[in-house]
Amino acid sequence: MSVTASHVKRAFKYRFYPNDAQAAELSRTFGCVRKVYNLALAARTEAWTRQERVNYNQTSAMLTAWKKTEELAFLNEVSSVPLQQTLRHLQAAFTNFFGKRARYPHFKSRKKSRNSAEYATSGFRFREGRLTLAKMAEPLDIVWSRPLPEGVKPSTVTVSQDAAGRWFVSMLCDDPTVKPLPATDAAVGIDVGLDHLLTLSSGEKIANPRHERRDRARLAKAQRVVAKKAKGDGANRAKARRKVAKVYARITDRRRDYLQKLTTRLVRENQTLVIEDLTVRNMVKNRKLARAISDAAWTEFRSMLEYKAAWYGREVIAVDRWFPSSKLCHSCGTLQEKMPLNVRTWTCACGTTHDRDVNAAKNLLAAGRAVSACGAGVRPQRSSPGGQSAMKQEVSRREP
């Protein structure tokens, strides 16, 4: 999702139900896309060992040559558009790698990689609300859970199948309905946690739904069934694994729906939103808390907050993770030497009694306003000799 001066690029995702012929065609396409990606990655990796670089145009020429070989002649059976698109994705992956924004691209696995194929405008036809992909005689049976903006046509279409066996189509469109909201003076500091998902500087505490915990018994039962099946590619094991995937899909869908509604509300109500710049990938290394932190989905929350703020003309400020938000009195600015984790309320020497989380959110808001005023980052001295910030200490407890 991206924003330009005049419009927003927005993806509209729908579930669809292919017939047998369409499912077979898409399955072949997924396999060919994966094969071409891996072949091109292998070629580029081999060239890299020789200190040579291979670009998209060269891999496109390789694709033409591969199609002419007897071994890879099956690539001619599917549309060439998603095959070219996967080469463009590989080029983007290498661009991000060389720009030090991502790791080196990895090969796609048949079992673990996401089944997907992207079609550019030459690879599909969209007329009167009916989408027909290349190499298909009939349009897809799409469940239109919400309409596309009037008069809008997709620029790219991505078809995918998740681990639970569900089929989805995502259409990237220019959405003229998304416009900046009227400016407001409201600002909020947001402190994330596990006991409460969010604590706002206004004093409001938003409960943590713990979606994974609600389905933990069902998930454990499904995983036990998989563990008892003979290892391999047997149909019974595949069926059991699909049941596990369905439980995970249920958890993911509920979590995403909750975060979508929550972030939309926060963005609509506030002009400035201040959060803490957490390194979640390091936090989940704590084996006692990895499950709870992953279920809270702080990274997904921040991502939604940022792109919606860009859509609607709001501002998201990330305060440095070493800022001692929990130990600092927001009234007088006194920094406490110690703040044991079992202390949820405390009284400062100035006489102010604080709720630990609300105080942290208010301090984040104040720090964010300082960043907005001076245009500089906030990096106070680290709050503990061990190099942990107040927030890192806050989530170092065992999951409640």
What's the pLDDT tens digit per position in 257-284?
999 999 999 999 999 999 998 888 888 8
pLDDT of residue 347: 74
Q: How deeply is 73 buried, as exposed, middle or buried, from its count of CB atoms within 10 A (0-12, 13-18, 19+)?
A: exposed
Considering only residues 177 and 7, tell me which one the structure prediction assigns the higher pLDDT. 177
Residues designated catalytic: 191, 276, 357
Place of tokens 């190499």: 135
What's the pLDDT tens digit per position in 202-241?
999 999 999 999 999 999 999 999 999 888 778 899 899 9
**Is 247 a residue whose pLDDT tops 90?**
yes
What's the pLDDT tens digit per position in 93-106?
999 999 999 999 99
Considering only residues 397 and 143, tell me which one the structure prediction assigns the higher pLDDT. 143
Say whether 23 sits in a helix, a strand or coil: helix
For residue 18, name the pLDDT band (cuts at 50, 70, 90): very high
Mean pLDDT, residues 300-308 taken together: 94
Report the alpha-carbon distance of residue 78 to residue 75 in Å, rounded: 6
Report the alpha-carbon distance of residue 1 to residue 155 in Å, rounded: 13
| Tokens read off for 315 | 């501002």
For residue 375, name the pLDDT band (cuts at 50, 70, 90): low
For residue 327, name the pLDDT band (cuts at 50, 70, 90): confident
What average pLDDT is seen over the chain?
87
| Tokens read off for 262 | 């929550």
CA dihedral 95, 96, 97, 99 (to 10 degrees): 90
Range of lowest pLDDT (10-24, 295-309, 372-386)? 372-386
Report the alpha-carbon distance of residue 187 to residue 309 in Å, rounded: 13
pLDDT of residue 1: 53
**Is 395 a residue whose pLDDT tops 70?**
no
Closest CA to 263 of 275, 251, 252: 275
What's CA 4's distance to the chain center, in Å?
21
Mean pLDDT, residues 29-45 taken together: 97
Q: In 119-137, which positions are buried (b, 16+ CB within 10 angstroms) versus exposed (e)?
A: beeebbebeeeebebbbbe
Domain ranges of the chain: 8-175, 187-374
pLDDT of residue 232: 78
For residue 189, name the pLDDT band (cuts at 50, 70, 90): very high
Q: Which amino acid is at 58?
A: Q
What's the pLDDT tens digit per position in 3-16?
444 578 899 999 99
For residue 357, name the pLDDT band (cuts at 50, 70, 90): confident
